[in-house]
Structure 1
Amino acid sequence: MIKPVKVTGLAVALVLTGFIAQAQQDEHAQSDELPKGWHLLDKAKDGYYGISVDKAYEFIKLKKLKGKTVVVAVIDSGVDTLHEDLKEVLWKNPKEIPGNGIDDDGNGYVDDVYGWNFIGNKDGRNLKQDSYEGARVYHLLKPKYDGKMINPATLKGDELEEYNMWVKAKARIEGHNGEPQLDLYMLKRLLKGAKQGDSILQVALKKGTYTGNDLDTMSTATEVDKAARANILYLFRANQRMDQTNKELIGDFDEFVAGEEKKAEAKDKVPPPYRAEVVGDNENDITDKYYGNNDVMASTPFHGTHVAGIIGAVRNNGKGMDGVADNVKIMMIRAVPDGDEHDKDIALAIRYAVDNGAKVINMSFGKDFSPQKKWVDEAVRYADSKGVLLVHAAGNDAKNVDTADNFPNPVYRGVKGKATNWITVGASGDPKAGGITASFSNYGKKEVDVFAPGVRIYSTIPGTTTYGNAQGTSMASPVVAGAAAFLLEYFPYLTPEQVKYCLEKSAQSPGEKVNKPGTDDEVNLSDISKTGGVINVYEAAKIAATLQPKTVVKKKAAKPVLQNKKG
């Protein structure tokens, strides 16, 4: 499973060695301060590597353009439908009468007012956690391939794809895939030490909740306090989360270790059928699609709420923060649990978004295996035929996705070709807070199209009037989705390919070397991404203004047929 393309992207795995060796961090290390909403700012005017949103709106005003409402679908964990900064921008199905228990619009989904929940049951139960896809693949195919003499040269097509997937899953689960294995014992020991240090600091500071910034200015009275401060402060700094709380930091560390424990157990234990026990559909039949419920909040709305706010939280209302786009409706489609999502749910979520009018789909999730990728590929082709752009987070493992799998992706399985209505986004930051590239971000000269701000992004979180920071390519992706929606608001005739062209062509090179994520190597941003730039909405709008409606070529692609094929 890809380490969080969700919530905060805690980089514990990347700093374990440093945590042990560098606990006595330099007392004069650079402060990690960034203003709230820094990702919207302009480098020349404000001094931060943002995306120049205000300049873009000034340009639109100068052109006297009026915006058209754009529907943006967010396939995610859920959304707080009561949040003060989101209530006005949530999509509401105009053909559905809320709460009457009738499928008024006849689309097969009863009372789908704000969208749909594909990981729930009609009886009201909702899936919260799920297993790792690699473990599911490993145990599903183990009886067929384990210990058998298989000659790959005799296989072809779907069977060869399946066998190769099994070999990869076996290597991953059994721990001989050539990648460094995390020492679970050491992880648990470090977590225990972090919790002990946290308890010491709560007493020393005389408060249960504190931030990394509080520790940065803290005076220590004893050697015990000094050691605890150094250890916890290192975790705050290494993860670029100085303004977040100890509760959040330790909580995410705890969650990360729990996830690693699940992976360790996967070799000997068949993953529990979490989804099957709740959802109740035939997961092997893509045509069995009328399942789930209309509860798009469920019990896990943090991630989706944060993502939705980045895209379109009400602008200039004096509350909390501003979204990138000023005239959007956010359609929430719940399909991402705490664990790896299922291909069927993602494929149907894409189709639901397209059929209900979305023009942009944000996908801040990912995994290492995709057993039914062809279902997702067909949904992507369907979106393309309807003029819908998909924006996907590159992932948070500091790996090269030119060579390492990260699903979903735009490369079609089993046939030649690659989706042209797709943008893959890496996470950028700012020199004032760790560097231009986020230390956790995946990268790839061929497969990562652009970078966008994804470090310490301030946005809506569940709680009606609550806001906070989170980071990850999960946050960078909605920055791009919001930018795409902005372009379509004011230039509604643009095709997905043209929107992508505008965003890529206008991406701004930082003009200096950047760190390759996960290393100290200095490279050009063009060495680790297709465009070598961070998106800039103002520059993209200027390019969009040069593209005329007559340049649009309407697609004649037929609606793909749903097939029950496994990839």
Structure 2
Amino acid sequence: MIRFSKSSILLLFLSIGMIPVYSQSRGVTTIDSLDVKYLNWYNRSPVVDKVQGAATDQAYLELLKDKSPRKKVVVAVIDGGVDIYHPELQGKIWTNKKEIAGNGLDDDNNGYVDDIHGWNFIGNSKGEHLLYENMEFVRIFKKLNPRFSGVKDENGLSAEEKRLFAVYLRSKTKYEEELRKYTQRKKDLDNFEEYVNHFEEVLRKYLRKQEITVEDVKSVKTKSEMVSSAKEALLDLYNKGFTRRDLADMQKRSNDFLNYYLNLDFNPRAQVEDDPEDPGDTHYGNNDVKGPRSFHGTFVAGVIAAARGNGAGTDGVADYVEIMTLRVVPDGDERDKDVALAIRYAVDNGADIINMSFGKYFSITRGILDDAVRYAGDHNVLMIHSAGNEADNLDLTEHYPSAILADGSRVPNWITVGATSNILNKEFCGIFSNYGAENVDLFAPGVNIISLAPENKYEMGDGTSFSGPVVSGVAALVWSYYPELTALQLKDILLESSTKYPKAKVYSPDIKSPKRKKVKFATLSRTGGVVNAYNALLAAGKALPVN
């Protein structure tokens, strides 16, 4: 008989319990199935509600009730797809009025056939979709390994070869680290499942039931040491938040890393039928902007634009807004060319704001991306980017896409956003949020956010992926009433009017060490603030009074 101690199973659970899990299949049909105390908290006011939200509701009630918006703002959501059929998004989806649906022609001559609601840059002409991709550092390692695998040092290399050799070494190190990590993680998860199976089997035999519930486990009363140990171990796990669904999600994520993201033999891009490193090769993809895995993008779109005040579910931040959907993010790392073309599509087709809730730490075709970011910057488009969920200081590491270009210049109409929670305490800053006194502009609600999920569902999640859309929503709200503002003026208003916490001390983000340091919240971003719609509208009104 296998014997496992209660302490060993708890230690293993806690060691894997910090693994971020992002499920593509979750969602509930009614809001009541979620923890409703978090419903719409990101719209609440620090002053009126004593909740550290973006004060959106206060703005609507006190500043906008007798005013009408003057421009419908278009927000391009560059993501993994959006369920444009969700009831909460009806009337909020951008439509290309220059295109005739279903006629198989490029009516507006923009290079995309039947692009009614946007474009899918990770599909093909047959209507198929790219689901998984390598991580960028894996793609770089595969590309450069034939050239540098036998090179010991920089001696004899040209300046350009030295640059590429440094990139190669960095990608090789990262690949080897991640491969070791996820190989070990898979073993840990398999061992953990074995522990759980053993304890559950002991209790099933004792209770003479094939399926046991938490209540069944609690009801066990016995003098058997083995049965008592099984009961205590499972109850300890339940109390720590363990669910079988979470375990299955973590196992799937580890398997996905080994089978797809880190697999050197995996090359899915051929399915898309393009050259991913040729910026001139633009005629690919399809018009299915939902795609097969639209969980993340639908959640993002819901934060920005879900119907307000209908009593059915969540309230989006912005009311007079449309979502343009651009699908570029697979499971794995996005390609620079896809992102660049999506940015250009958004600019050329009338987007006012571009929301980008994705990012990566490597880029070998950065020039393609930089040119597109510069293009949007030159066309009065406000770009809003989520800071990332690795608890990294972005002042010390590169992160793509970025407002900082390869030549060191900075595109001004760009906002990078970290994540905060609803209560002003030591846990105010999201434990996972990236930060940076220079390279993160401000924070926004991003912990315990309830939003939309595909197929008419809802879900709760954490991430800077969801704080970025709060800022996009606030920007769209302000712009809809003050369309005369330039993108740079709007950015300055959002930053300067953010709620400041000059004395607040919080735990610094850290997902690696259980002992987190306390720092001043004001040191974690350029502004030390959290976006505030009420304050932003007041500031815009002073700059440009609305009739």
1:184–1:21 CA distance, 2 compared to 1 (3 A)? closer
Q: CA separation in 1, counterparts of 2:516 and 2:460?
A: 25
Q: CA separation in 1, counterparts of 2:247 and 2:327?
A: 27
Q: Is the 2:425–2:506 contact (alpha carbons within 8 Å) kept by the matching residues of 1?
A: no
Gaps of 5+ in 1: 1-14, 24-31, 237-245, 550-567
Q: Is the 1:526–1:532 contact (alpha carbons within 8 Å) kept by the matching residues of 2?
A: yes
**1:143-542 alignment, distance < 5 Å:** 143-151=146-154, 155-156=158-159, 159-175=161-177, 182=181, 184-190=183-189, 192-193=191-192, 197=196, 200=200, 219=218, 221=220, 222-235=228-241, 246=243, 248-262=245-259, 266=262, 270-276=264-270, 278-413=271-406, 415-431=407-423, 435-464=427-456, 466-510=457-501, 511-518=503-510, 519-542=515-538
Q: CA deviation at 1:77?
A: 0.7
1:422–1:152 CA distance, 2 compared to 1 (3 A)? farther
Q: CA separation in 2, counterparts of 1:329 and 1:33?
A: 27
Q: Which residue of 2 aligns with 1:117?
A: 120
1:209–1:405 CA distance, 2 compared to 1 (3 A)? farther
Higher mean displacement: 108-117 or 517-526? 517-526
Letter in 2 for 1:19: L
Q: Is the 2:120–2:328 contact (alpha carbons within 8 Å) kept by the matching residues of 1?
A: yes
SS at 1:387 equivalent: coil
Q: CA separation in 1, counterparts of 2:245 and 2:297?
A: 17
Letter in 1 for 2:419: A
1:63–1:416 CA distance, 2 compared to 1 (3 A)? farther
* Identity fraction in percent: 39
Q: CA separation in 1, counterparts of 2:367 and 2:395?
A: 20
Q: CA deviation at 1:149?
A: 4.6
Could you give the per-residue CA deviations for residues 143-187 of structure 1, whole angstroms, max 9, x where no partner exists? 21222254379644x555433321211221233xxx997373355
Could you give the per-residue CA deviations for residues 22-41 of structure 1, whole angstroms, max 9, x where no partner exists? 99xxxxxxxx9842111111
**Which among 89, 92, 99 is matched to residue 102 of structure 2?**
99
Q: CA separation in 1, counterparts of 2:413 and 2:66?
A: 27
How many pairs align? 504
SS at 1:45 equivalent: coil
Q: Which residue of 1 aligns with 2:29?
A: none
SS at 2:319 equivalent: coil
SS at 1:61 equivalent: coil
SS at 2:392 equivalent: coil
1:200–1:503 CA distance, 2 compared to 1 (3 A)? farther
Letter in 1 for 2:299: H
1:345–1:153 CA distance, 2 compared to 1 (3 A)? same
TM-score in terms of structure 1 length: 0.81
Q: Is the 1:117–1:333 contact (alpha carbons within 8 Å) kept by the matching residues of 2?
A: yes
Q: Which residue of 2 aligns with 1:56?
A: 59
Letter in 1 for 2:102: G
Q: Which residue of 2 aligns with 1:139?
A: 142
SS at 1:108 equivalent: coil
**Which among 69, 72, 86 is matched to residue 72 of structure 2?**
69
**1:13-52 alignment, distance < 5 Å:** 19-20=14-15, 34-52=37-55
Letter in 2 for 1:226: E
2:123 is aligned with 1:130? no
Q: Which residue of 2 aligns with 1:86?
A: 89
SS at 1:85 equivalent: helix
1:107–1:46 CA distance, 2 compared to 1 (3 A)? same
Could you give the per-residue CA deviations for residues 56-103 of structure 1, whole angstroms, max 9, x where no partner exists? 123432673534100000011111121100121011111111111111
Q: Which residue of 2 aligns with 1:546?
A: 542
RMSD, aligned CA: 3.2
Could you give the per-residue CA deviations for residues 356-415 of structure 1, whole angstroms, max 9, x where no partner exists? 1001011111111111111111111111111001111111111111112221111111x1
Q: CA separation in 1, counterparts of 2:412 and 2:11?
A: 39
Could you give the per-residue CA deviations for residues 186-229 of structure 1, whole angstroms, max 9, x where no partner exists? 5532455258648949989x99999xxx99x9946354233223
Q: CA deviation at 1:108?
A: 1.2
Higher mean displacement: 82-91 or 188-197? 188-197
Q: Is the 1:131–1:271 contact (alpha carbons within 8 Å) kept by the matching residues of 2?
A: no
Q: Which residue of 1 aligns with 2:30?
A: none
Letter in 2 for 1:490: Y
Q: CA separation in 1, counterparts of 2:45 and 2:352?
A: 27
Q: Is the 1:135–1:271 contact (alpha carbons within 8 Å) kept by the matching residues of 2?
A: no
Q: CA separation in 1, counterparts of 2:122 and 2:135?
A: 16
Higher mean displacement: 434-443 or 88-97? 434-443
TM-score in terms of structure 2 length: 0.84
SS at 1:459 equivalent: strand
Q: CA deviation at 1:124?
A: 1.0
Q: Is the 1:197–1:229 contact (alpha carbons within 8 Å) kept by the matching residues of 2?
A: no
Letter in 1 for 2:108: D
Could you give the per-residue CA deviations for residues 491-540 of structure 1, whole angstroms, max 9, x where no partner exists? 11112211211111122234421111115211011222111121111111
Q: CA separation in 2, counterparts of 1:548 and 1:115?
A: 32
Q: Is the 1:184–1:260 contact (alpha carbons within 8 Å) kept by the matching residues of 2?
A: no
1:513–1:17 CA distance, 2 compared to 1 (3 A)? farther
Q: Is the 1:77–1:336 contact (alpha carbons within 8 Å) kept by the matching residues of 2?
A: yes
Q: Is the 1:392–1:424 contact (alpha carbons within 8 Å) kept by the matching residues of 2?
A: yes
Q: CA deviation at 1:431?
A: 3.5
Letter in 2 for 1:492: P
Letter in 2 for 1:483: V
1:33–1:322 CA distance, 2 compared to 1 (3 A)? closer
Q: Is the 2:120–2:289 contact (alpha carbons within 8 Å) kept by the matching residues of 1?
A: yes
Higher mean displacement: 94-103 or 304-313? 94-103
Q: CA separation in 1, counterparts of 2:458 and 2:217?
A: 26
Q: CA deviation at 1:297?
A: 1.1
Letter in 1 for 2:332: G
Q: CA separation in 2, counterparts of 1:476 and 1:197?
A: 36
Gaps of 5+ in 2: 1-9, 19-34, 221-227
